[in-house]
Structure 1
Amino acid sequence: MDAADEDAMKAFQEKYYLSDEDVQEMRKVPMPSERAVQDYRSAYNDIRDWLRRQKQANRKNSQNRLGRCGF
């Protein structure tokens, strides 16, 4: 969001019920670099894909065991 855009800032404050003081406090929080954000997203996607594969393998193994038991 463009902090210089007064209308956008006002809309943001109204949407999230923020005072001017709240916004000033938020501006003190250091933001990660764009590269760091990309790295976080990549790691998140890798973990999500790994978890999805694990769940699929577990489901397949469960179905195979149930099939052998006659259920």
Structure 2
Amino acid sequence: MARQLTDNAVYQYAVQQNTPKSTLEYFGRTVADMNVINSISKGLARSQAGTSATLQLMRPLWVSMARITE
């Protein structure tokens, strides 16, 4: 019984600490989650297609722009 009470108290504390404090914080978390899911799905699609564009993705934009302007 005591273990159940402490487990429940720890759970309630974790929920309270992880609950967004404002609408803006909630929106930020939602956008961040969508970006992670989008990145994972793109990676899986590349993996299934047999292509690997990780080096191209890691290249800074200014390097790509420098090639265009040359």
With the length of structure 1 as denominator, give the TM-score of the two structures: 0.44
Name the one with the larger helix percent.
2
Q: Scaled by the length of structure 2, what TM-score is found?
A: 0.44
